[in-house]
Structure 1
Amino acid sequence: MHHRANALSPVPSNSLFIRERDFGGEAVALDAAPSAVRVELLGGARTIAVTVVPAEVELATASLTGASRAAALRDLDAALGAPDTALLLYVALQRARIWRRAAVVSAEPSLAPLQLPPLAHGGLRAAPLDATMHRLFLACDEAGRALLAGRFVAEAAACLSRHAEAFAGNAWCRAVHAGRLAREQYVAALANTHQYVRYTPRLLARAISVCDDEPLRDHFTRHFRGEQKHDRLIEADLRYLEADVEFVLRAMAPWGPTLTFMSVQESMVAFHGDLTGFLAAPFVAEGLAARVGPLVLDDLADNVRRWGYREPARATRFLVSHVREDGGDDGHWNATLAVLARLLRDDTTQQRFLAVLHLAADAFTASYDAYADYLTLFTPPLLADP
């Protein structure tokens, strides 16, 4: 069944305030682990609210096949057809989108504004999350959409924050912290990184050449200037570690997970011409460097010393430079945030950006898992090993 996009009442233009709390009354950050959250909208005729919860922990939906990929809505406290209901529900489902849920489900007739078709299960109704959120966004008036768009960068940052937790626990980082990273596993990371870092200025140059948006073109130009010869830092690190630099430069093919990350950004700029989507790759790489990099550098230096190299700083120039340049209030990542705040202004653009973000982050994490897992043959034994 097709639904009219304007089936919901528009959001009023008056000032509204959003509050998101757990059932103890404490504020819940957007990047918090999935749990029941009460979302309140204040400032209209009265406070209205709804609860969003992971479907697998909700009694009415826990037994559903695929519950772990859905979010449930319940306890809607709003008059049926209230003009700001669409905004409230969109805000609640933003949290479900951060949880990477693909469907929304509810047992409550009061949630009829969502236009959820019935499921053949216990009076439940459900729909794909993307189409539902799109209809809700269109049901808001200009002021409501502006309020929602003002949350898009925070939503993207929350998605990346959850990816950073996963990245910090990848096989490569675990080996670093345990003092069991092999030289070959670190060389693999540097060598594969070189495969795409050497192309970054060229991709940025292409973006500059096709960009008609002057502020965005200026951002790419500044980034282009800051990315010059970073591949040379990797080469210097590799030479200090006595790796085969000529192989890396002339003959090496990137490993599959690395090639996936490369393909994401290359396709965005070279095939699709989607410069907002193109920003997702540096958003991921720089964001993870800024968040996770400082946590591994000291332990990485200890691993380098264990391999017999007395000057770890000579083996970590590339990583150290990116932790420094990508992090901080004036780092590359925060500069990208400022640009995205202007570009992410509608639901379709946001959904596409988040899809590219997740694709890039999954590939980036998988690549570091591969640098360790593909080469476990070189992992040093524990002292207790025979």
Structure 2
Amino acid sequence: MHQSGAYQSPVSSASFVVRERDLRGEPVGLDAAPSAVRVELLGGARTIGVTVVPAEAEPATASLAGAERTAVLRDLDATPGSPELSLLLYMALQRPRIWQRTAVVSAEPSLAPMQLSPLSQRGLRAAPLDVAMHRLFAACDEAGRALLTSRFVAEAAACLSRQAERFADNAWCRAVRAGRLAREQYVAALANTHQYVRYTPRLLARAISVCDDEPLRDHLTRHFRGEQKHDRLIEADLRYLEADVEFVLHAMVPWGPTLTFMSLQESMVAFHCDLACFLAAPFVAEGLAARVGPLVLDDLADNIRRWGYREPARATRFLVSHVREDGGDDGHWNATLVVLARLLRDDTTQQRFLAALHLASEAFTASYDAYADYLTLFTRPLLADP
């Protein structure tokens, strides 16, 4: 699942080049697992650098309460008061933000823009990650902020890549790979998916109606046209599996985790009218379909045959169509990346989008866990005959 080079965008400007390497000197993708990374800014009067480390991997901080939610900055090599310092520190802290850390700690004396507070541990100071990054972004000049915003889409994609690893290991996907998915567990996934897919065109229409940004409105309109009648594909899949389609259409209530995923996108477009954050839900759903879908489709077909259905393609029309349409260089997900590159233009917008992204990803993963875990009584015993 890890794609170290897929979203790593070497960032340069007329003045600076960013270099990010592990302690062996090898390049490290933004979506890499938490580990010590040396971040360097080449240009200006000299090369400056700092190392960012997960707090639990650092002897001086491993015993801190909440170390697993904290990152450490150490080995700062920069002139105190250097105008490029805020730029360097912000780029270094993008990694803890991808790791979903919530605090930063350091014994370095020259981190003034972050306004760290002393801890009881001797020599250590700390700050919440969100406010530290806000202060660093504000301290950069216009050229520095432009360099940082050019990294925002790569950061969001790296967050999704790490979430995709978690999604690929949910209970439903594990059951598929093990050949132990029950028909009822697959029907539950399709039925719950129908609960929000049937509203997607209406949500997009709502977004179009409140959008004053013409290029964004054009993107939403293209997406609207591409989402027509996808609920009919789910209904056809359900009918082939002899499920109760009338219940799904007229009486079913989405399960709690599914409702959480639905509520996020509904609130962003209908209450907040925040169209950048509204895009977080399709960014997640389409991104996970493009990444994880190809890994499970063959195994899913084998499960369906095991249930006695000889034509698995007639039960997977919806999933196959989304793997095809959402993936690839010209897929829905890549089109969303292009739009986000224009919308994510400051730290507050980025932090808000990433919060929505993680909430959507966690709800989406929890929903698939539920489709398996709520119906484990239908799972065949390990020693049962095929």
State TM-score, norm by structure 1: 0.96
Q: Distance in 2 between matches of 1:28 and 1:146?
A: 22
Tell me by how many angstroms 1:59 deviates: 1.2
5 Å-filtered alignment, 1:316-327, equals 316-327=316-327
Q: Distance in 2 between matches of 1:367 and 1:46?
A: 50
Deviations 1:241-261 (A, max 9, x none): 000000000000000000000
The equivalent residue for 1:181 is: 181
5 Å-filtered alignment, 1:272-287, equals 272-287=272-287
Q: Conserved in 2, the CA contact under 8 Å of 1:197 and 1:231?
A: yes
The equivalent residue for 2:248 is: 248
The equivalent residue for 2:234 is: 234
- Is residue 2:361 matched to residue 1:348? no
Q: Distance in 2 between matches of 1:318 and 1:161?
A: 23
Deviations 1:199-236 (A, max 9, x none): 00000000000100000000000000000000000000
Q: Conserved in 2, the CA contact under 8 Å of 1:41 and 1:48?
A: yes
CA RMSD of aligned residues (A): 1.0
Q: Distance in 1 between matches of 2:284 and 2:291?
A: 10
5 Å-filtered alignment, 1:1-386, equals 15-383=15-383
Q: Distance in 1 between matches of 2:57 and 2:298?
A: 40
Tell me by how many angstroms 1:117 deviates: 0.9
Q: Distance in 2 between matches of 1:80 and 1:264?
A: 43
Tell me by how many angstroms 1:113 deviates: 3.9
Q: Distance in 1 between matches of 2:89 and 2:97?
A: 12
Q: SS of the counterpart of 1:39?
A: strand
Deviations 1:339-362 (A, max 9, x none): 000000100000000000000000
Structure 1 residue identity aligned to 2:203: L
Q: Distance in 2 between matches of 1:362 and 1:15?
A: 39
Tell me by how many angstroms 1:384 deviates: 6.8
Q: Percent identity?
A: 86
Q: Distance in 2 between matches of 1:349 and 1:24?
A: 35
Q: SS of the counterpart of 1:109?
A: coil
Q: Conserved in 2, the CA contact under 8 Å of 1:289 and 1:323?
A: yes
Q: SS of the counterpart of 1:71?
A: strand
Q: Conserved in 2, the CA contact under 8 Å of 1:48 and 1:77?
A: yes
Q: SS of the counterpart of 1:33?
A: coil
Q: SS of the counterpart of 1:217?
A: helix
Deviations 1:292-329 (A, max 9, x none): 00000000000000000000000000000000000000
Q: Distance in 1 between matches of 2:45 and 2:156?
A: 30
Structure 2 residue identity aligned to 1:44: G
Structure 2 residue identity aligned to 1:81: G
Tell me by how many angstroms 1:23 deviates: 0.8
Q: Conserved in 1, the CA contact under 8 Å of 2:185 and 2:375?
A: yes
Q: Conserved in 2, the CA contact under 8 Å of 1:81 and 1:113?
A: no
The equivalent residue for 2:5 is: none
Q: SS of the counterpart of 2:117?
A: coil
Tell me by how many angstroms 1:14 deviates: 5.0
Stretches (4+) displaced over 6 A: none
Q: SS of the counterpart of 2:122?
A: coil
Structure 2 residue identity aligned to 1:91: M
State TM-score, norm by structure 2: 0.96
Q: Conserved in 2, the CA contact under 8 Å of 1:76 and 1:111?
A: no
Q: Conserved in 1, the CA contact under 8 Å of 2:31 and 2:161?
A: yes
Can you give the 5+ residue segments of structure 2 that lack an aligned partner in the other structure? 1-12
Q: Conserved in 2, the CA contact under 8 Å of 1:276 and 1:353?
A: yes
Structure 2 residue identity aligned to 1:358: H
Q: Conserved in 1, the CA contact under 8 Å of 2:51 and 2:73?
A: yes
Tell me by how many angstroms 1:121 deviates: 1.5
1:199–1:60 Cα change, 3 Å:
same
Q: Distance in 2 between matches of 1:62 and 1:295?
A: 36
Q: Conserved in 2, the CA contact under 8 Å of 1:198 and 1:230?
A: yes
